[in-house]
Amino acid sequence: MNDNLHQLRCFGCGARISGAQAQPDFRCVECGDLFEVDYPGWGQRKGPDRPNPGALKWLWRERRCSSEALDHSGVWRFRELLPILDSFGNVVTLREGNTPLYPLTRAAKALGIDQLFAKHQGMNPTGSFKDTGMTAAMSVARERGFEWVACASTGNTSAAMAAYAARAGLKSLVLIPEGKIAWGKLSQAMDYGAVTCQLKADFDGCLRLLTQIVKEAPIYLLNSVNPYRLEGQKTPAFEIAEALDWNVPDHLIVPGGNLGNSSALGKGFRELHELGLTARMPRISVIQAAGANPLVRSLAANHGASLEPMQAHTRATAIRIGNPASWRKAARVIQDTGGWCLDVTEAEIAIAKAELGSEGLGCEPASAVTLAGLKKLLARGAVSPAETVVLVLTGHTLKDADYTIDFHRGTLLNADESAGLETEIDGLRRNAVATDATPAAVLAALKGRTR
């Protein structure tokens, strides 16, 4: 399975091409849809040629104790399921992946769920899930001899791309929407040496411009339209299954922005099942912000047959996307696994983020939509208390520190947004206290406090 025999298959019309034949914008010339990496030989393997699930599980576990640099990556540790390179010597890695699966004991008790976990992708080297995809796509860029790489970004992609480009010795270009990115993320791209252009446009406008640029110059596009990005981003599915002793959760809940992550995780779990490594697929649900919910609207209006772009508005900047590139793939994953797609308000996001913080697990606002969405799924009876649920947390809390500070100061939400939830919000943001500079005043502030 190490042979580089992959193809790119169009998600729309099914056309197949080699990786080298892909257009600079990774769109199908026949129908304009996106590609995904496909391994046609896997399904044809029979008998002794078919991979041995037990042997693969043993090998991947043993690599955790290896001194080889490639084995220290939670992506390339599973390289038998990533045959996308001619030589693994071209891998660009920062030891990404191998992120923790934390039990959420307080939230589970409050919600009455037996088994609730958070897969915290914010514990990657640059603080977000984008690292797992970037190591794969950047390795392909280096192997194919590109000198420049580029992305449009709301923040996390730019940080990951700039870091991996620096590691690979490549030059990088970032296009971001002016004033619509958390400063912590922007500072990373600058620190890692990316040429960073702030445009008077939203994310979708930045991506449209970049697709024109890569058609005119030899620059490798590293947004999630790049199918190799999603190959790396499928590997947390392997880690989740491994952590659960090669079982899968009943329900996986993912934030929905450009929708590449839900697509990738669905592909990862599907491949595990097809290769006999797991017995079934989890249900996969996608949660969007109410002000940036084009997939929610699409599924409600026409069951995902088409998507109407929208002007996105949410403080969860990582998912402030009104025209997600991977919406067809995400819709298919939701429908094929029996999951749901719903949205949550700004106040519900802020409350869920503070609740995750009370577990000692900080995350960026976009990650918190998963817990907020779980509450709604429970209320609808879509998730039962006896099920095992995994929430995907996509980014670290320090990605958007201003959001957290504003919440605890009481300046994040306006009166309309917090209406009806004031008591719940006040109970979560009692941490910022102004007192006199005396022992008595400080000790008085501690009275009545409970976890």
Residue 82 pLDDT greater than 90, yes or no: yes
Residue 108 pLDDT greater than 90, yes or no: yes
Q: Give the pLDDT score at 2.
A: 47
Q: Give the pLDDT score at 46.
A: 60
For the segment 125-136, what is each residue's pLDDT rounded down to a tens digit? 999 999 999 999
Residue 405 pLDDT greater than 50, yes or no: yes
For the segment 257-302, what is each residue's pLDDT rounded down to a tens digit? 999 999 999 999 999 999 999 999 999 999 999 999 999 999 999 9
Structural domain contains residue 399: yes
For the segment 18-48, what is each residue's pLDDT rounded down to a tens digit? 999 999 999 999 999 999 999 987 765 665 5
pTM of the model: 0.93
Structural domain contains residue 307: yes
The count of domains in the chain is: 1
Q: Give the pLDDT score at 385.
A: 94
Mean pLDDT, residues 380-402 taken together:
95
Structural domain contains residue 306: yes
Q: Give the pLDDT score at 219.
A: 97
Q: Give the pLDDT score at 438.
A: 93
Mean pLDDT, residues 76-97 taken together:
96
| Token pair recorded at residue 109 | 């008790």
Mean predicted lDDT score pLDDT of the chain: 93
Residue 346 pLDDT greater than 90, yes or no: yes
Structural domain contains residue 148: no
Mean pLDDT, residues 41-69 taken together:
83
Cβ-contact 130, 157 below 8 angstroms: yes
Structural domain contains residue 34: no
Structural domain contains residue 253: yes
1 pLDDT band, cuts 50/70/90, is very low
> 344 lies in which domain range?
101-127+231-428
Cβ-contact 401, 408 below 8 angstroms: no
Provide, rounded to the nearest whole percent, the portion of the chain with pLDDT above 70. 96
Q: Give the pLDDT score at 153.
A: 87
Q: Give the pLDDT score at 104.
A: 98
Residue 420 pLDDT greater than 80, yes or no: yes
Structural domain contains residue 212: no
For the segment 205-260, what is each residue's pLDDT rounded down to a tens digit? 999 999 999 999 999 999 999 999 999 999 999 999 999 999 999 999 999 999 99
- CATH code of the domain in which 353 resides: 3.40.50.1100
Residue 392 pLDDT greater than 90, yes or no: yes
Among the listed residues 321, 404, 392, the one whose alpha carbon sits nearest the alpha carbon of residue 365: 404
Q: Give the pLDDT score at 232.
A: 97
184 pLDDT band, cuts 50/70/90, is confident
Structural domain contains residue 445: no
